[in-house]
Amino acid sequence: MDTVSTLIGLGLLALFMLPVLYLIWQQNNKEKNRLKNLKNISAQNNLNADTFEVSANLLLGLDTKANKLLIVEPANNMQHKILDLTKVKSSTVNSCTFPENNKLIKSVSLDLSENKKHPKLTKIIFYDEDDSENERNNASESLVIARKWQRIINEKLSA
């Protein structure tokens, strides 16, 4: 009877654990594919992305030697933009809240301006409540990531 109980217990454990392990494996494969796409686009543009961020709606790669930032939007057919950080003068994290509730974040972006007098603004959107692709993303997590990238970019601007 102990053997049968043990086998039933192991069977139930496997029944509940295998789908979770499969989802983890599938998510890791998606992240590896996104990272591979980022590295391929970097190589096509003669960049070596040594600092990167991979999420569902945004891929960022920074070439610290060339001072260039690669921004890839997987939702827009892998459209990409290369931003020269030597032309960027300031970076700010912009988080907008809902008018009726100031605790709920509506959007998070990193705004990069080239000049104080005539700012050409580049917005890197980390989170947007209105975007259907952001259903899996967390607003506060996106705010932390945006602040991390602001710190990384500010270090490059001051150097």
Residue 50, pLDDT score: 85
Asked if residue 134 has pLDDT above 60, the reply is no
- Give 82's contacts (C-beta < 8 A, 6+ positions apart): 45, 47, 68, 69, 70, 71
Structure tokens at 133: 């692709």
**Structural domains of the chain sorted by starting position, each given as residue range(s) with its CATH number in brackets:** 2-158 (2.30.29)
Distance CA 28, CA 31 (A): 5
- CA distances for 2 relative to 5, 11, 12, 13, 78, angstroms: 5, 14, 15, 16, 56
Alpha helices (runs of H) in the chain, residue ranges in sequence order: 2-44, 139-158
Most confident listed range (19-33, 78-92, 119-133): 19-33
Q: What angle do CA 44, 49, 51 make, to 5 degrees?
A: 160
- 3-class SS letters over 140-159: HHHHHHHHHHHHHHHHHHHC
Asked if residue 18 has pLDDT above 90, the reply is yes
* pLDDT digits 0-9 by tens, 25-48: 999 998 899 888 888 888 888 888
Bridge partners of residue 84, in order along the sequence: 68
* pLDDT digits 0-9 by tens, 76-89: 777 888 888 888 88
Burial group, residue 158, by CB count within 10 angstroms (0-12, 13-18, 19+): exposed
Residue 119, pLDDT score: 66
Distance of CA 38 to the CA centre of its chain: 12
